[in-house]
Amino acid sequence: MARMLSILATRVDFIGTTSYSKGNNRAIFSAIARLISGYDSAQSIQELMLLPEGVIWSKVTEGHEGLLVDRFHVGLQTGNSEPLLMMPVSAISSMLQEVTQRFGSGGEMILYNQGKAYSLARFAAIKRGLGPNPETRLEEIAAMTCAAGWAIVKAKLEPGGNAIEFNNFECFECSTSKSRRSSCSFLRGMAAGLVEALFRKEVTSEETKCKGRGDEACTFIVKPRDGSPLGGALSLNRSAKVGKIEESEGTVN
């Protein structure tokens, strides 16, 4: 790949590149690039890319009238090869808003149940990676939720160990400019599903503050339904604080 890049360096101006391994010493490289010389074409660059030893296949397509179409990749996938759909947050947020406007409290219940089911399914998918004491990995799970774009999550065990408080900044449900939501049932369900999976206890989940109601963040309090402490290996002082929060406080670049 290094040889191919050094050949291309004098012929194209890379705007963005992606590369990833396919195993067995094979890798995919893809890029959006601008031709440097008017003498080159998509065809000539495609042929050039095949010159270095080890390059198996190349395809270069040209954009027309400002539209460049990716004709190579077919859908996104997670590391577990689950297919993903990419959609603007505003579109998902507006879809959920429509459900709650049409069905009222019944709609909120649907979203809560779906959020909880989603969280339980995600936990099952990543469980192996969390090791024998997943309840001690709250910080990493919060970071994953943040990286996936759901919200910027700060989670902490409440003093006494009876509940976990989630503070979600930029929650996808109510933080978009067009949102008229004042409660975020999908994420309330996600928080419930996570705590239930981590501690294997039936829980209640309440949204005590909501950005949609003018609060700084959406706050969810999740606690065991029977009032028992969450206990276990989780330190009472432990809190999970993820990158973007620290970034907004200016401590991380």
Which of these ranges, 19-27, 57-65, 87-95, 206-214, lies near Zn ion under the rule CB under 5 A?
A: 206-214
> Binding to Zn ion by residue 218, rule CB under 5 A?
yes
What does R_g of the chain's alpha carbons equal in angstroms? 23
Asked if 135 contacts 124 with a C-beta cutoff of 8 angstroms, the reply is no
Site for Zn ion in 69-88 (CB under 5 A): none
Looking at 23-31, 85-93, 142-150, 216-224, which segment touches Zn ion (CB under 5 A)? 216-224
Closer of 203 and 210 to Zn ion (Cβ): 210
Query: Does the footprint of Zn ion cover residue 184 (CB under 5 A)?
Result: yes
d(CA 219, CA 216): 9
- The secondary element (H helix, E strand) that includes residue 16 is strand 12-23
In the complex, least distance from residue 99 CB atom to Zn ion, rounded to whole angstroms: 15
Our CB check for Zn ion shows the closer of 12 and 245 to be: 245
Residue 174 as a binder of Zn ion (CB under 5 A): the answer is: yes
Select 188 or 244, whichever has its Cβ closest to Zn ion.
Answer: 188
Q: Between residues 173 and 196, which has the closer beta carbon with respect to Zn ion?
A: 173
Does 210 contact Zn ion by CB under 5 A?
yes
Which residues, including other chains, have CB under 8 Å from residue 185's CB and lie 6 or more apart?
A: 100, 108, 109, 111, 112, 115, 173, 207
**Alpha-helical regions (H) of 67-184:** 89-130, 138-147
- Indicate whether 155 belongs to the interface with Zn ion (CB under 5 A): no
Query: Closer CB to Zn ion, residue 45 or residue 184?
Result: 184
Encode 1-13 in three state secondary structure: CHHHHHHHCCCEE
Q: Answer yes or no whether residue 151 interacts with Zn ion by CB under 5 A.
A: no
Element (H, E) at 26: strand 26-35
The footprint of Zn ion (CB under 5 A) covers: 174, 184, 210, 218
